Amino acid sequence: METDHTSYQFAERMFGLGGVLDYLQCHECGAMRICDPPSSMADCYPDDYYANADPYTLNYEKGLKWRLLRARDRYEWTGVGGVGKLFSKLKANPRPRSLWPAKLRKTDRILDVGCGSGYHLRHLHSLGFSNLMGIDLFIGEEVSLRGLQLKRQDIYAVQGQFDVVMLNHSLEHMLEHGEVLRECYRLLSPTGRVLVRIPTIECEAWEEYGKDWFQIDAPRHFLLHSRKSISRIAEKAGFQVLAMVDDSTEDQFIFSEIYREGLPMVSRNPETEAKISELRSKMPIEEYKQRAARLNEEGRGDQICVVLSKAV
């Protein structure tokens, strides 16, 4: 009798911890889920895990140069401003542009679920956003500033209403996606938006690299959605999908190639670090960027940005 899923076994690759982790991919919806998550995830989130890195905050000074820089960054983060758009051509940053589909406004009450060190919120705060809250169970240090709060708690403890609820590559680190999205629904204002950014297994990188695709990220990624499965679970939570945009980058090739060579993404071993650096120096980065852009246009990128609103 044919089974309704395919079994896979993966190892922890980011830090080279190894192990054997069982995953199942559903034939009907395409999503892939871990079978038995480790009882403790502490070893999987060490101090040098990227989301725990020291936050960078730019303090804008006075003068024409800084006004232009601020205009550029406001455009990079919100997609608003003709002057900023012009200056962004000098050095574009694709990371904040992934927030554009949420159409952020300075007056928005914004909640970032699984905010890490607060990368997104700190930058928005420096651009004049003044009603920002981030939550993360593993946050290093809580922050309480005028207009910016970073708290060590989960979504179930949050009260109030928000115009925007963001999950920037945090949902895949959680087990009960349906429950989390229902909590987002509870916290969202009637006309608000939920921004969900996640990797998707429905991509060319998974087809090409298989177990070496870096966004598997076992065991940290509990559930990898297809476009169909994230739409379905969002609708069950009471949402409608306003937009689904591919926002993958060249990272899908850079780190997958590193894994293909049997190397970790992060190492404290100088010899291993040297091998990683040498491998990266030989990579056709511009080619990877162009390929990522093409895959995004074709709907074949390895991560997506999903914008939700309450169903009418």
Taking a C-beta distance cutoff of 8 angstroms, is the pair 23, 223 a contact? Answer: no
Q: Write down the pLDDT at residue 60.
A: 46
With residue 224 as reference, give the H or E element that holds it: strand 223-224
Which residues have a Cβ under 8 Å from the Cβ of 308 and sit 6 or more positions away?
Answer: 181, 184, 193, 194, 195, 196, 234, 239, 240, 241, 242
Strands 5-12 and 18-26, sheet pairing: antiparallel
Distance CA 74, CA 129 (A): 10
Q: Write down the pLDDT at residue 92.
A: 57
Q: Which domain CATH number covers 303?
A: 3.40.50.150
Domain extent, residue 113, equals 5-310
Low-confidence ranges of the chain (pLDDT < 50): 1, 60-61
- Looking at the structure of the chain, the number of domains it has is 1
Does the model's pTM come out above 0.85?
A: yes
Strand, helix or coil for residue 80: coil
Q: How far is CA 180 from CA 119, 130, 134, 196, in A?
A: 21, 25, 15, 11
Distance CA 132, CA 117 (A): 14
Write the pLDDT tens digit of every residue in 47-73. Answer: 667 665 555 555 544 555 556 666 667
